[in-house]
Amino acid sequence: MEESKKQTPSQSEQLKVQTEVFYAYKHFDSAPNHVQNQWLTLQRYNHIEYLTKGLEHLGPGFCCLDANRPWLCYWILHSIALLGESVDCDLEDNAIDFLSHCQDPDGGYGGGPGQLPHLATTYAAVNSLITLGGDKALSSINRHKLHNFLLRMKVSSGGFRMHDAGEIDVRACYTAISVASILNILDEELTENVGNYILSCQTYEGGIAGEPGTEAHVSCCNRYTFCGLATMILINEVDRLDLLSLIDWMAFRQGVESGFQGRTNKLVDGCYSFWQGGAMALLQRLSSLIDAQMRSSFIGEGEQTTGRTKASVKFESGGGSASAGSPAQGNLSDAGLSFLNRSAEADPFFDTIGLQRYILLCSQDPHGGLKDKPGKHRDYYHTCYCLSGLSVCQHSWSKTAKSQPLPPAISGPYTNLLEPIQPLFNVVIDKYHQANDFFSVSY
């Protein structure tokens, strides 16, 4: 009897996290109003100082991330852009020059100069250069060779390899399709069978796994559900997903702490503020498809028509609509802009104020930087995705990308407001538009 009452390690960890988070909330709720306002204030200038120092110099403890240096550039540069700031000319030039040295002669970007080109670091490098903006940064990307690299990574199943002889998963699909879309080099050769591969990864729970037959999650390293959903939007085949079960799975990932977990029975983590919150923001613009799937699920005798079989409505992009088995005709790269221009037809699908409170009270380091959860240390990864998630929360109540959120949508003072992002790529909207204009010509 006593043995059955013994907590598992997972239960113990969950109880510990809940206790720390609820203590922070209780402490906050009992504080005077002026103290509450201070605790809910985004420490903007401390974050900028922390980020800028990281861009200038990293200590020897970062040697283990030598193969992730474009990621460090992206996490820091994107965070600074979200805060409405930019780096000085010398740092900008240094970043562009460094990323140029990471570009492989045959296309793609490695984790550092001379390293093997990799889809993940290619995504990070391209997003970094788009975030920097300007002719020098954007023209440094060799789109022709990058397109050839993406084709070399493509496999017959419809998926992509992360690198030569590397793993094949949904992450690779997203990074390849995202880069191709934002650079206006997406074509039918790249999108062929990608939708079939993503579809085979949607699990019985509704979430999307990394590869067929594995568990659905959005873990720190793998973020499969966001990647799969965003990929299907970018290739204009999102109507093929079972969106009803996907929403159901995602809704239960926001825990009692108000933050998000990455998968069933996993601890809350600040980085999921974007990986889950961002995916929720994508679904918010798909409410007409969701409604159509809900209606069609009641049609027929014994045959429910869900997204995984045959959706009755298509997602309209600038390139036209796609049939369930083939990509849209026309310019496939128009899907990102078309999606951004869609009005949010529904209210947010998650507790945006609760998530903001978790980020500000439990993930924010008052000295600069953000972290996973109470008791953890700040780092650039969590700073990037906590701020990205915070931006998603703030702008989720806006019906269009151009409209500013009203004060009730912002937890804490209105000065907490961050720049809005293009959620499909997680770059600031202004930077996305600049890149979209720059790459509108064929390569």
Q: How far is CA 252 from CA 205, 241, 380, in A?
A: 11, 19, 27
Whether residue 379 lies in the annotated active site: yes
Please report, to the nearest 10 degrees, the dihedral formed by the alpha carbons of residues 394, 398, 400, 403 taken in order. Answer: -80
Whether residue 136 lies in the annotated active site: no
Whether residue 217 lies in the annotated active site: yes
DSSP character string of 182-210: HTT---HHHHTTHHHHHHHTB-TTSSBBS
Whether residue 266 lies in the annotated active site: yes
Which of the residues 372, 384, 393, 431 is marked catalytic? 372
Burial class (CB in 10 A: 0-12, 13-18, 19+), 207: buried
Whether residue 384 lies in the annotated active site: no
Whether residue 377 lies in the annotated active site: no
Residue 342: DSSP 8-state: S
The neighbouring-strand residues paired with 422 are 427
Are 290 and 296 within 8 A, CB to CB? no
Which of the residues 217, 240, 285, 314 is marked catalytic? 217
Residue 422 backbone phi and psi in degrees, to 5: -85, 105
Which of the residues 104, 269, 334, 365 is marked catalytic? 269
Which of the residues 74, 197, 224, 272 is marked catalytic? 272
Which of the residues 73, 102, 227, 271 is marked catalytic? 271
Whether residue 372 lies in the annotated active site: yes
Burial class (CB in 10 A: 0-12, 13-18, 19+), 223: buried
Amino acid at 138: L
Whether residue 382 lies in the annotated active site: yes
Which of the residues 291, 376, 379, 433 is marked catalytic? 379
Whether residue 102 lies in the annotated active site: no
Which of the residues 154, 240, 266, 285 is marked catalytic? 266
- Torsion sign (Cα): 208, 351, 363, 133: positive
Diameter over CA atoms, the chain:
71
From its phi and psi, is residue 133 left (phi > 0), alpha (psi between -120 and 50) or beta? left
* Chain center to CA of 240: 21
Which of the residues 382, 386, 431, 432 is marked catalytic? 382
Enzyme catalytic residues = 217, 263, 266, 269, 271-272, 372, 379, 382
